[in-house]
Amino acid sequence: MFSKAVLVFACAGIALATEFNPLHHSGPASPYFDAPTPEHVPEATPEGCIVDQAAYIVRHGSRFPEPGSFGGWKSLFQKIQNATFTARGPLAFLPSWVPPVDDAPHEPLFLTSHGAQEAFELGAQLRQEYGFTHGGKNFTVWAAGQQRVVDTATYFMRGYLSQGNYIGLSNENQGTVVILPDSVNYTSANSLTPSAACPKYSSGVNSTVVDNFHASYRSGIAKRLNEFLHGLVLDANDVGVMGDLCGFQAALNGDTRFCNIFKDEEMLDYEYAWDLNYYYGSGPGNPFAGATGLPWVKAVAELFGSGPNVTPANSTFAPPPLLMGFTHDNNLPPVLAALGLWNDSHTSPLSLTRPDPRRTFRSSNVVSFRGYIALERLSCEKPLSESVFHKAGVLNEVPGNSTKAAKYVRVRVSAAPIPIPGCTSGPGESCPLNSFLSHVAKREGIVGDFVKTCGLQGVKNATSVASFFTDIPKASLIGVVSADNLPQLTS
C-alpha cells in the first residue's frame, strides 16, 4: 500500500492536497500518469475553441531494464540469496523476491505489455479527442529506430485505427510508421534523436552533480532499512537499485513492494536526483540542449503557421493534422529548453544540494514512460450562448470552425497545459499564433542555431532543419500497420 500521508505543496502555482503516490515521483521509471495542471489554468480545451492541429513528441512506453540496470537487479538478487538473514516489516518480502524478468535473453531493453497498453490507449484517446481522422482513412506517424520506440508507435497506431471493422482491406485504415535512424551522427537536426548528432551536447552533461546528490541521502536510507534486517547489510548502491525497482517493477507486473520501503521524503530525494540528471544533462541546464530541441519546435511552428491539411511548398509529403513523433526520454527536455518552459527564474538553475518545492522542472512529469510534450493549435470564436437558434435542414457551425476564427497555441506536458512565459493572452492562457511564431524566432536567438551551436559548420550535409514531416528521408524505413497486424518493413 502507498503511504496514507497527505502531501500538500505549492509548485509554481500548482496546489495539491492528495495521497502521496511514489509512482508519480519515480522519474523515468514512472509508469505514465497525467502531470498536475497548474493552478488557474483550465485543463480542458477552452470554451469556444477546437484543436485543428496538434504535434506530439512522445517517449516510448514502459520497458524492461537496459542491460546495465538489469545487471544491478541481478547483483542485488545474488546478494540477497547468498546471505543467511532475517527480514521483517517492509523488507519481509526480500527472501522470496526475484527480478521481474522471466525471459532474460529477449526482454531487457524492450517494451513490456504495460508499455504496449500505454501506447494503445494514447492512440485510442487521441483518435477520440481530436476527431482528425475519418473512419477508414490512412494515417502516418514517425518513430526513432530503436525497437521499443518502433513498437510504441505500432501499438499507438493499432489503438488509433481500432474503431470500425476494416480487416482484410489493403487500402483503408492503414497506418504508416516512418522509422528514422536512431542515435546516429549523420542526420544532424533531421531526426527524432538530434542530440546524438550534436558533438558538443555531451559536454553539457555533468554526472558528478547527480553522484554528489545520491551520496547525500542514500546512505541514510540504507542505515534505516538495515534496522529491519539481521544478517544482511544493505549499502547506498543497493538503495539506488531498490529505488529504480519501485517504478520499474510496478510497470512490469504491478508489484509496488519496493515503493513501500521508502518514506515520502526519500522518494522526493530520489526524484530530485533524476531532476538534476535531466535538467543538467538534457534540459535547460545543458547549454546545448535548447539548440537540439529547437528544430522540432520550428518544424511544428511552420506547419501551424500554414494550417492543417496544407501541402507546404517544396515538400514531398503532406503531413496529417496530428503529428506524432516517438523517441527516447532524453529527447523531451531539449524541447522544454527550446521553448523556455520550466525554467523559472526563482528556482533555476536547480540547486545542487536541496530541492526547492516551488520548482517547475520535475522529471517525473515529462519523462515518465509514454510521457510527452504536445503543441496544440487552437481555433477559437465566441462560445455558444445559452440560447442557440437552429433552422431546419441547416447544420449549425461549431465555434472555431469558421474562416474568421482566431488561432492560438498551447503546450501540454503529459496532459497538463503549461503556459508559455510571456505569452498567455489567449483563451485558457494560450498564446496567439503570431505571437507564438515570434516566440520561437526569439528562442532561436537565445538557444542558437543547431549547426552553429553544435560546431558542425563545414560538415557536409549538416542541417539545422527537421524536414522529416514533409520530406520522408531516404535513409528511413517504412512500417505498414493496420489495427490487426504488426508492422511490415519496406525500404
Amino acid letter, 383? P
Q: What is the DSSP letter of 73?
A: H
**Same domain membership, residue 341 and residue 430:** yes
Give residue 487's pLDDT band: very low, low, confident or very high (50, 70, 90).
Answer: low
Give residue 168's pLDDT band: very low, low, confident or very high (50, 70, 90).
Answer: confident
b/e per residue, 245-263, with b = 16+ CB within 10 A? bbbbbbbbeebbbbbebbe
Q: Give a yes or no: residue 33 inside a domain.
A: no
Residue 341 contacts residue 333 (beta carbons within 8 Å): no
How is residue 206 written as a grid cell? Answer: 555533468
CATH number of the domain to which 437 belongs: 3.40.50.1240
**Same domain membership, residue 132 and residue 92:** no
**Same domain membership, residue 184 and residue 251:** no
Domain that holds residue 84: 64-109+206-281
Q: How many CB atoms lie within 10 A of CB 86?
A: 12
Mean pLDDT of the chain: 93
Q: Give a yes or no: residue 32 inside a domain.
A: no
Helix axes 236-253, 113-130, angle to 10 degrees: 60
**Same domain membership, residue 371 and residue 448:** yes
How is residue 134 written as a grid cell? Answer: 475519418
Least-confidence region, from 398-402, 421-425, 467-471, 481-485: 481-485
**Same domain membership, residue 219 and residue 95:** yes
∠ CA 465-467-471 to the nearest 5 degrees?
A: 150
Question: What pLDDT digit, counting tens, does each position of 260-291 carry?
Answer: 999 999 999 999 999 999 999 999 999 999 99
Last residue of a domain, one of 258, 281, 304: 281
**Same domain membership, residue 328 and residue 313:** yes
Give residue 259's pLDDT band: very low, low, confident or very high (50, 70, 90).
Answer: very high
Residue 357 contacts residue 19 (beta carbons within 8 Å): no
Question: What pLDDT digit, counting tens, does each position of 410-456 carry?
Answer: 999 999 999 999 999 999 999 999 999 999 999 999 999 999 999 99
How is residue 488 written as a grid cell? Answer: 511490415
Q: Give a yes or no: residue 374 inside a domain.
A: yes
**Same domain membership, residue 452 and residue 339:** yes
Last residue of a domain, one of 265, 281, 297: 281
Helix (H) / strand (E) element for 375: namely strand 372-380
**Same domain membership, residue 332 and residue 429:** yes
Q: What is the 3-state secondary structure (H, E, C) of 376-433?
A: EEEEECCCCCCCCCCCCCCCCCCCCCCCCCEEEEEEEECCEEECECCECCCHHHCEEH
Residue 33 contacts residue 53 (beta carbons within 8 Å): no
Structural domains in the chain (count): 2
Of 290, 231, 251, 263, nearest to 94 (Cα)?
Answer: 231
Residue 176 contacts residue 137 (beta carbons within 8 Å): no
Question: What pLDDT digit, counting tens, does each position of 54-74 carry?
Answer: 999 999 999 999 999 999 999
Residue 21 contacts residue 71 (beta carbons within 8 Å): no
Residue 58 contacts residue 326 (beta carbons within 8 Å): yes
The model's pTM: 0.94
Give residue 343's pLDDT band: very low, low, confident or very high (50, 70, 90).
Answer: confident
How is residue 64 written as a grid cell? Answer: 524492461
Distance, first Cα to last Cα, the chain: 49
3-state secondary structure of 352: coil
Last residue of a domain, one of 242, 263, 281: 281
Q: How many CB atoms lie within 10 A of CB 66?
A: 10
**Same domain membership, residue 275 and residue 139:** no
What residues are paired with 406 via a beta bridge?
380
Q: Give a yes or no: residue 29 inside a domain.
A: no
Residues 6+ apart with CB under 8 A from 397: none
For 14, 213, 332, 371, the CA distances from 11, given in Å and listed in that order, are 5, 21, 21, 20
Q: Give a yes or no: residue 199 inside a domain.
A: no
**Same domain membership, residue 425 and residue 325:** yes
- Average pLDDT rounded to a whole number, residues 464-477: 92
Q: Quick one: pLDDT at residue 486?
A: 60
Residue 189, pLDDT > 60, answer: yes
Q: Quick one: pLDDT at residue 482?
A: 75
For 61, 260, 265, 343, the CA distances from 21, given in Å and listed in that order, are 20, 10, 12, 25
Instruction: Please state, in angstroms and rounded to a whole number, the distance separating the CA atoms of residues 305 and 296.
Output: 14
Give residue 386's pLDDT band: very low, low, confident or very high (50, 70, 90).
Answer: confident
Residues 6+ apart with CB under 8 A from 456: 188, 197, 198, 199, 450, 462
Q: Give a yes or no: residue 30 inside a domain.
A: no
Question: What pLDDT digit, counting tens, does each position of 351-383 carry?
Answer: 999 999 999 999 999 999 999 999 999 999 999
Q: For the chain, what's the residue count? A: 491
**Same domain membership, residue 240 and residue 176:** no
Q: How many CB atoms lie within 10 A of CB 62?
A: 28
Helix (H) / strand (E) element for 121: namely helix 113-130
Q: What is the DSSP letter of 88?
A: -
**Same domain membership, residue 368 and residue 334:** yes
Instruction: Please state, in angstroms and rounded to a whole number, the distance separating the CA atoms of residues 329 and 327.
Output: 7
- Average pLDDT rounded to a whole number, residues 166-170: 86
Residue 346, pLDDT > 80, answer: no
Q: Give a yes or no: residue 18 inside a domain.
A: no
Q: Give a yes or no: residue 36 inside a domain.
A: no
